[in-house]
């Protein structure tokens, strides 16, 4: 039988060892928690959620998302493609990171499948419609030969499409800003040949305090069809013609 003193000493070591173990675990947790910035945790989780949803679409919810296999990846990728997702690579990167953190490896068969599915994603999906460049010179040329006129080009479209394009380009307006612009927010200074737009100061809040932005007439160096001042005048005339003045 060991003397009491030795047993106490043994316990003492055990307590110490446990405390060290706890400290090591906490240190690791602290480190891992900050792998991802707090601000990125939301988006990061939502990437995985979307991946999970695609898994459910193609494989049902009972097939676990991880470990990833080439077959699972192919099917999930097919769902992304069918729904027209362009940023599949983003979702895949998150799934890969998660897979590696769980299983420690990313084999060549997964690498190959990742490459193939990513490549397929960008084919046959068509151009990014919202980011097509607007060739203002072509619109100006069109206006010279075959004026668009004040009426909407498409049903429920804006009136004076050409004016909208020119003003939009000169003042770098976003769609929401252009569509919120009222008759009274466009001020014409005929003496100084200037047009001034009252625009919301915040890009995300159309009701925010207004700031003034001005452009002068550029007809001296440009064509009249591409002049912000003259198109603004024309657009105000269009509006009066279409909607009639409010006062008799
Ligand atoms: Zn002008």
pLDDT in tens, 87-97: 899 899 999 99
Determine the Cα–Cα distance for residues 164 and 183; give it in Å rounded to an integer.
13
As a whole number of Å, the CA-based R_g of the chain is: 31
User: Is the domain of 40 the same as that of 95?
Assistant: yes
How many Cβ atoms from other residues are within 10 Å of residue 231's Cβ? 25
Q: How remote is the CA of residue 218 from the centroid of ligand 1, in Å?
A: 5
Residue 14 inside a domain? The answer is no
Ligand 1 centroid to Cα of residue 136, in Å, is 16
Residue entry with tokens 């990171």: 97
CA of 16 to the centre of ligand 1 (A): 84
Judgement on whether residues 235 and 145 belong to the same structural domain of the protein: yes
> Which DSSP letter does residue 181 get?
-
Whole-number Å distance, alpha carbon 6 to ligand 1 midpoint, is 99
CA of 221 to the centre of ligand 1 (A): 9
The arrangement of strands across the sheet holding 194-200 comes to 186-189, 194-200, 210-216
Split into its structural domains, the chain has a count of 2
**Cα-to-centroid distance, 228 and ligand 1 (Å):** 7
Do 233 and 143 fall into the same domain? yes
Tokens of 18: 């446990």
Give the distance (Å) from ligand 1 centre to CA of residue 154. 27
What CA–CA distance (Å, rounded) separates 64 from 68? 9
Residue where a domain terminates, one of 96, 121, 146: 121
To the nearest 10°, report the CA torsion of 219, 222, 228, 233. Answer: 40
pLDDT at 52: 92
pLDDT computed for residue 175 by the predictor: 77
Q: Where are the alpha helices (DSSP H) in the chain?
A: 4-33, 38-59, 70-82, 88-103, 108-121, 136-145, 161-170, 175-180, 228-243
Question: Domain of 100?
Answer: 19-121
**Residue 188 φ/ψ region, left for φ over 0, alpha for ψ in the -120 to 50 degree band, beta for the rest:** beta
CA of 114 to the centre of ligand 1 (A): 55
Q: Does 236 lie in the same domain as 140?
A: yes
Q: Which residue has the tokens 């960008």?
A: 122
Type and span of the H or E element at 216:
strand 210-216
Same domain, 113 and 165: no
CB 234 within 8 A of CB 160: yes
Cα 231 to ligand 1 centroid, rounded to whole Å: 8
Give residue 168 CA to ligand 1 midpoint distance, Å. 16
Q: Please indicate, yes or no, whether residues 110 and 175 belong to a single structural domain of this protein.
A: no
Q: Is residue 52 part of a domain?
A: yes
Q: Flag whether 141 is in a domain.
A: yes
> Is residue 147 domain-shared with residue 93, that is, in the same domain?
no
Q: In the listed set 67, 88, 121, which residue is the last one of a domain according to the structure? A: 121
pLDDT of residue 195: 95
CA 246–ligand 1 middle distance (angstroms): 27
Tens-digit pLDDT string for the chain (248 aa): 445 566 777 777 777 888 888 888 888 877 777 766 665 666 678 889 889 999 998 999 889 999 999 999 999 999 998 888 878 998 999 999 999 999 999 999 999 999 999 999 877 666 665 667 778 888 888 888 888 777 777 777 788 889 999 999 999 888 777 877 888 889 999 999 999 998 877 655 555 667 899 999 999 887 888 999 999 999 999 888 876 544 43
From the CA of 186, how far away is ligand 1's center (Å)?
Answer: 15
The whole-number pLDDT of residue 208 equals 61
Residue where the block lists tokens 């999970």: 52
Neighbours of 104 (CB within 10 A): 7
Q: Are residues 143 and 231 in the same domain?
A: yes
């Amino acid at each position: 039988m060991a003397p009491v003193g030795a047993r106490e000493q043994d316990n003492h070591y055990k307590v110490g060892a446990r405390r060290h173990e706890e400290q090591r675990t906490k240190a690791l947790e602290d480190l891992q928690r900050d792998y991802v910035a707090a601000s990125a945790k939301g988006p990061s989780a939502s990437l995985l959620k979307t991946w999970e949803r695609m898994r459910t679409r193609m494989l049902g919810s009972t097939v676990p998302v991880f470990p990833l296999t080439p077959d699972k990846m192919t099917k999930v990728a097919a769902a992304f493609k069918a729904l027209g997702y362009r940023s599949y690579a983003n979702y895949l990167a998150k799934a890969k990171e998660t897979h590696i953190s769980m299983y420690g490896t990313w084999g060549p068969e997964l690498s190959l499948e990742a490459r193939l599915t990513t490549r397929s994603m960008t084919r046959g999906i068509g151009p990014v419609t919202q980011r097509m460049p607007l060739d203002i010179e072509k619109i100006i040329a069109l206006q010279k030969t075959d004026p668009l006129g004040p009426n909407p080009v498409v049903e429920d479209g804006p009136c004076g499409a050409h004016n909208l394009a020119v003003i939009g380009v000169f003042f770098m307006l976003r769609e929401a800003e252009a569509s919120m612009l009222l008759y009274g927010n466009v001020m014409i200074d005929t003496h100084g040949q200037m047009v001034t737009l009252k625009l919301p100061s915040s890009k995300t809040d159309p009701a925010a305090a207004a700031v003034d932005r001005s452009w002068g007439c550029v007809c001296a160096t440009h064509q009249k069809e591409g002049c912000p001042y003259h198109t603004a005048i024309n657009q105000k005339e269009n509006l009066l013609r279409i909607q009639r003045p409010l006062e008799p």
